[in-house]
Amino acid sequence: MRHDEIIFVVEDSLDGGLEARALGHSIYSEAETPEELREMLRDAVRCHFEEDELPRMIRLHWVRDEVLAV
């Protein structure tokens, strides 16, 4: 069964760089730059799913904390 999309939550890594986790699937990846992460996630999704099950779209949900001084 083909999925329309797979969603990843992307956060800054405590060690620097970025990390991404798929919602509802056991796919995880990390990278130093957004461009590198995008390519690694494409590869990870291709490895995780059979050809006829590949999602049509990969959605990245970027989560960033911002701290403001009062």
Rounded-to-integer distance, Cα 67 and Cα 44, Å:
32
Give the model's pLDDT for residue 67.
85
* Average pLDDT score over residue span 40-61: 95
Give me the number of domains the chain comprises.
1
Domain of 44, in residue numbers: 5-63
In a domain, 9, yes or no: yes
Token pair for 38: 């995008």
In a domain, 69, yes or no: no
Maximum CA extent, the chain: 53
The pLDDT tens digits of the residues spanning 4-20 come to 999 999 999 988 999 99
With CA atoms as reference, report the closest residue to 10 among 59, 52, 46.
59
In a domain, 28, yes or no: yes
